């Protein structure tokens, strides 16, 4: 990765030009950059990483009737296009939502992809309901933290796994129970779950199958490789397929506007230190929310 000047983007006819204030750093960014996800997200170099961010509209295309200069927006980008680690991005209407007035740009950038992944996994894929027993792995991570809050908001009884140092943190997010995976095997102390949200994979998959009720559901995202043994336990196993449908973006941001979903920023770093942020994620050294890049400070320096 190199920190360098590139030509300013020009908005298309129905696009807005956004001056980025903050961009979040997600695990998928480093996995795409390293080539681990090349089959899923083939990219051509040079490219700018970044999956989401927040900023202010500074120009619009001639047919852009949905945004005005000065509008504050949250936005998403695809891994295969120029991303959010930039001072300027162009975005069409479906890839944006108004920034909630009650949170800052850093918090707004942190909530987009993490909140959308959690919502799709729990609500759209597992279709959780009030009163259900839900186990969320990696509860102190960005997506896990959003998932805890969403499941608690819906009215589920939430158990979360995390490191011992993070147990109080996940309880504060709304978990009813926190299990320190570095001290206890969750499969020895949890049972009769309606749903498991697996953000880990690997050997946690088989142990997760054990704790589900018959016909319970395990939902997973891109995680460590595992052998699907759901059939042995009479449970369902589904991958959460992440999309950027505007309705889902609106639901997540709406929860933040209503203060039902609290953004979690683990660290603020400068845009030029994006490579350092990637290194922290690769080494598994980030918990308690998203690392976000302060692009605004770079612009105004």
pLDDT tens column, 175-212: 999 999 999 999 999 999 999 999 998 889 999 999 99
Q: Which CATH superfamily is domain 15-110+264-300 in?
A: Medium-chain alcohol dehydrogenases, catalytic domain (3.90.180.10)
The token duo for 34 is: 């390293």
Question: Using CB atoms within 10 A of its CB, is residue 298 exposed (0-12), middle (13-18) or buried (19+)?
Answer: middle
Nearest to 115 by CA among 179, 173, 71: 173
> Which element (helix H / strand E) includes 162?
strand 157-162
Average pLDDT over residues 280-284: 94
pLDDT band at 37 (very low <50, low <70, confident <90, very high): confident
The answer to whether 169 and 156 are in contact (CB under 8 A) is no
The CA radius of gyration of the chain, in Å to the nearest whole number, is 19
Distance in angstroms (rounded) separating the CA atoms of residues 221 and 113: 13
The answer to whether 186 and 135 are in contact (CB under 8 A) is yes
* CATH fold for the domain made of 113-239: Rossmann fold (3.40.50)
Distance in angstroms (rounded) separating the CA atoms of residues 109 and 18: 13
pTM exceeding the 0.85 threshold for the entire prediction: yes
Distance in angstroms (rounded) separating the CA atoms of residues 257 and 74: 12
Q: How is the chain split into domains, by residue range?
A: 15-110+264-300, 113-239
Residue predicted with more confidence, 42 or 126: 126
The answer to whether 77 and 55 are in contact (CB under 8 A) is no
């Amino acid at each position: 990765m190199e920190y360098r000047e590139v030509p300013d983007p020009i908005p298309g006819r129905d696009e807005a030009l956004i001056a980025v204030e903050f961009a979040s750093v997600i695990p998928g960014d480093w996995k795409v950059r390293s080539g681990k996800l090349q089959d899923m997200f083939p990219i051509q170099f040079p490219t700018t990483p970044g999956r989401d961010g927040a900023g202010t509209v500074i120009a619009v295309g001639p047919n852009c009737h949905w945004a005005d200069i000065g509008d504050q927006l949250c936005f998403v980008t695809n891994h295969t296009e120029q991303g959010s680690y930039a001072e300027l991005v162009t975005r069409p209407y479906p890839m944006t939502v108004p920034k909630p007035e009650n949170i800052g740009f850093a918090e707004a950038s942190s909530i987009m992809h993490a909140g959308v992944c959690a919502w799709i996994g729990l609500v759209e894929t597992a279709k959780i309901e009030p009163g259900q027993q839900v186990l969320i792995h990696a509860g102190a991570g960005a997506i896990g933290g959003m998932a805890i809050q969403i499941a608690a908001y819906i009215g589920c009884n939430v158990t979360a796994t995390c490191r011992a140092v993070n147990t109080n943190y996940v309880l504060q997010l709304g978990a009813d129970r926190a299990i320190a995976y570095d001290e206890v095997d969750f499969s020895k102390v949890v049972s009769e779950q309606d749903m498991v949200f697996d953000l880990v994979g690997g050997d946690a998959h088989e142990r997760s199958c054990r704790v589900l009720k018959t016909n319970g559901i395990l939902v997973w995202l891109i995680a460590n490789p595992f052998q699907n043994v759901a059939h042995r336990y009479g449970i369902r196993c589904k991958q959460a397929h992440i999309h950027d449908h505007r309705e889902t973006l609106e639901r997540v941001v709406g929860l933040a506007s209503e203060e039902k979903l609290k953004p979690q920023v683990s660290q603020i770093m400068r845009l030029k230190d994006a490579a350092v942020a990637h290194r922290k994620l690769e080494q598994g050294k980030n918990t308690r929310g998203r690392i976000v890049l302060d692009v605004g400070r770079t612009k105004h320096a």
